[in-house]
Structure 1
Amino acid sequence: MNRYRWDIDGLSKTHLPSTGIEKIKDITLITSGRSDGVHHQGVGFLLFKRAKQSLPVVHPVSERIITIPLKRTLANMTIIQKDVLFVIGDFNAIVGHSNDGVEDVMGKFRHGRQNHRDEMLIDFCRDNEHFITNTMFRHRERKKVTWRSPDGHTANMIDYILVGKRWKLSVLNTVSIAGGDFDSDHVLVMSELCLRIWKSQQPKKSLPRYRVNLLKNIETTNRYRTVLSNNLSRIQPMEAPTAEEID
């Protein structure tokens, strides 16, 4: 996995019964498995060198769910006000070829024929304001497929990376990558993220606009001169400082 130079790998179906954190050279393995010791299900994360330095705490929920909040620091700026939430995993949902009517949660680059879990995934995304990043980018069909049947005759996109809609434009690419060094009928799904930080726009103060065109009228000009002269006459002249005061 090191050759891909990723920061974080999400794992599903680890079949590891333990829950905890293990150091493997420069990699941190985080797992959440069954409490009865059965080698079934299980989820986790692999954190590589850069990502593990940002890991404050782990939240293992069950053998199906684990969450890790990562603290992200840019130069001398630490972003703590908002969370960039990703949901990743094997949803067993096939989103089909068309995104008509569901443009709010997925793009037009889909794959396969819809199954009964498609609506469940769409409802989940709508309820939680998420977008399916796998469908945002144009790729060849083999780069969309995330699972192949053992006989090699069936291939579908069923593993997804979801992101909050607010951060959708921060996702640069999501693509399937075959060739991982592990025994599985699923392939790796990679998503590349670039956080864009916008400065808050301060409202511009509007300068007062003077209707100088009114001075073209003689009467208006005379009134203006009179008012200006009266106001200036009320200003008390300043006394010049003495030599002693200057010293």
Structure 2
Amino acid sequence: MRNYIKEMAPSSRRPFNGAGVRRISGRKTGDEVRHPSRSVSRRGEKWIAEARLATLNVCGAMNDKMDEVCDMMYDRGIDVLCVNETKRKGKDVTTHGMYTAYWSGVDEIERACQGVGIILSERMGQCVKEYECVSPRLLWIRMKVGLKKLFVLGVYAPDMSKPTYIREQFWEMVRMVLMKCKGNENIIMLGDFNGRVGVRRLGYERVLGTFGDESINENGESLLTVCMEKNLFVTNTCFRHKRIHMYTWERGDDRSMIDFIIVDERLRGAVVDTRVYRGSNVGTDHYLVLCRINGLFRRWRHRSSVSTTALQRIRTERLQDEGERNKFKCRLKENISGLDELCMKELDLENVWQNVKKGLVDAATEVCGVSKRKNEKKNNTLWWDDEIRMEVEAKKRAWLDLLATKAESKRSS
């Protein structure tokens, strides 16, 4: 409210009426009556400073779903998306239009399984300082966003069907990774933890909220222990929502809350909301979990990407042919003929070098030719076109209709 009053000119300030509404005169926007809670419009500084972090288990086939995931991030305005069970091999960094993806998977010789990735928006990708692909289940990125230093950890925990020693090794590895976090960095963990944390409050008041699923398992207990050690809290349990906006996984009549966004205690006051968005479906039985953090990009300076012309490379490999090499020698002699006289007259070595350089480049370009470098940021998916996009939109509408039908049937029963 204070920011809104500061932005208004002194002559335009008016007292509240009885309904708690400030009337703004002298504006012809059609929105003359605004509630005090709308202190800044969505296009204002407050909305720009807000960051959106999300997690989604894609259940494999990440290469085929990448374009659809990027469209989902654009529609939701997501800055950081942790994707689990990507089933991608190797450790890599790829670029997809305005998004940068960091991947941590199994070795190339192994069967495709597990896998975790973190996809960053353009403005968040500029803030990356360091990263490490720890294992097919852990990936961390160190970044500085505005005045905040973040340690983002993407997690894909083993499910309860795995042996106990494998799960214990995983949580020990999580502790080892979190030890790399510096004291002035805020930890953010997000991903599929395959753990049910419940709503048990005794001893976990700083970690858990009062809203969530009542069930709990061993993974959930291990997660809560790590949160207690590192002063973290589970944002999913801190906001009241409908149950359909609380459960992150559903298969038939079975559903649970196993995908979490966990934030450092120092950021508790900045977390605006965390909830499930069921409409974003990419062929998985998990739902998108999205967390909004206010003021993260405050005092952040945007570095707009500079569009450059296509780079050209001289095909010097053609000089291996003797005929092409002889042509180049003859053309070079013609270009730099009279160079001795120029050196005698010209005392500026810079001008002499520029003439020699121009002669070399012109001769090589004329004889060898040039080739344009490919734009690495261009999306090279050949099958993704307007027809596929329309089919995907139809699939999304059908998915929303299915959710509405399920809700209606439950309501009627």
Q: Would the TM-score normalized by the shorter structure come out above 0.5?
A: yes
- Displacement of 1:101 after TM fit? 3.5
- Asked if the contact 2:148/2:296 (under 8 Å) is kept, the reply is no
User: 151, 176, 182: which one pairs with 2:276?
Assistant: 176
Report the Cα distance in structure 1 between the residues aligned to 2:289 and 2:296, rounded to whole angstroms.
Answer: 22
Q: Which moved more, 1:96-105 or 1:157-166?
A: 96-105
Q: Which runs of 5+ in 2 are unaligned?
A: 1-71, 150-182, 298-413
Determine if the alignment matches structure 1 residue 15 to structure 2 residue 96.
no
The answer for the alignment partner of 2:201 in structure 1 is: 99
- Asked if the contact 2:199/2:208 (under 8 Å) is kept, the reply is no
The answer for the alignment partner of 1:49 in structure 2 is: 122
The answer for the alignment partner of 2:136 in structure 1 is: 63
Report the Cα distance in structure 1 between the residues aligned to 2:92 and 2:262, rounded to whole angstroms.
Answer: 25
- Asked if the contact 2:207/2:234 (under 8 Å) is kept, the reply is yes
The answer for the alignment partner of 1:234 in structure 2 is: none
- Asked if the contact 2:278/2:287 (under 8 Å) is kept, the reply is yes
* Residues 196 and 110 (structure 1), Cα distance of their counterparts in 2 relative to 1, 3 Å cut: same
Aligned partner of residue 194 in structure 2, secondary structure: coil
Q: Which amino acid aligns with 1:38?
A: R
User: 266, 280, 288: which one pairs with 1:166?
Assistant: 266
- Asked if the contact 1:44/1:66 (under 8 Å) is kept, the reply is yes
User: 199, 220, 224: which one pairs with 1:122?
Assistant: 224
Q: Which amino acid aligns with 1:114?
A: I
Report the Cα distance in structure 2 between the residues aligned to 1:176 and 1:157, rounded to whole angstroms.
Answer: 10
- Asked if the contact 1:98/1:110 (under 8 Å) is kept, the reply is no
User: 68, 87, 91: which one pairs with 2:189?
Assistant: 87
Determine if the alignment matches structure 1 residue 5 to structure 2 residue 77.
yes
Q: Which has the higher helix share?
A: 2
The one-character-per-residue Cα deviations of 1:168-207 (angstroms, maximum 9, x if unpaired) are 112111111112241211111111112479xxxxxxxxxx
The answer for the alignment partner of 2:406 in structure 1 is: none
How many residues get paired? 191
- Displacement of 1:47 after TM fit? 0.9
Aligned partner of residue 20 in structure 1, secondary structure: strand
- Asked if the contact 2:145/2:296 (under 8 Å) is kept, the reply is no
Aligned partner of residue 94 in structure 1, secondary structure: coil
- Displacement of 1:79 after TM fit? 4.2
Determine if the alignment matches structure 1 residue 25 to structure 2 residue 120.
no
User: 115, 123, 144: which one pairs with 2:246?
Assistant: 144
Greater RCO, 1 or 2 (C-alpha within 8 Å, sep 6+): 2
User: 275, 282, 293: which one pairs with 1:193?
Assistant: 293
Report the Cα distance in structure 2 between the residues aligned to 1:39 and 1:112, rounded to whole angstroms.
Answer: 34
RMSD, aligned α-carbons: 1.9
Aligned counterparts, 1:219-234, within 5 A: none
- Displacement of 1:153 after TM fit? 0.8
Report the Cα distance in structure 1 between the residues aligned to 2:92 and 2:211, rounded to whole angstroms.
Answer: 37
Report the Cα distance in structure 2 between the residues aligned to 1:117 and 1:171, rounded to whole angstroms.
Answer: 25
TM-score, structure 2 normalization: 0.44
Q: Which moved more, 1:94-103 or 1:42-51?
A: 94-103
Aligned partner of residue 100 in structure 2, secondary structure: strand
- Asked if the contact 2:281/2:287 (under 8 Å) is kept, the reply is no
Report the Cα distance in structure 2 between the residues aligned to 1:60 and 1:196, rounded to whole angstroms.
Answer: 25
Report the Cα distance in structure 2 between the residues aligned to 1:79 and 1:106, rounded to whole angstroms.
Answer: 24
Q: Which moved more, 1:178-187 or 1:102-111?
A: 178-187
Q: Which runs of 5+ in 1 are unaligned?
A: 198-247
* Structure label with greater radius of gyration: 1
The one-character-per-residue Cα deviations of 1:73-130 (angstroms, maximum 9, x if unpaired) are 2xxxx44582121011211221224434421211101114223333222211112211
Q: Which amino acid aligns with 1:148?
A: E
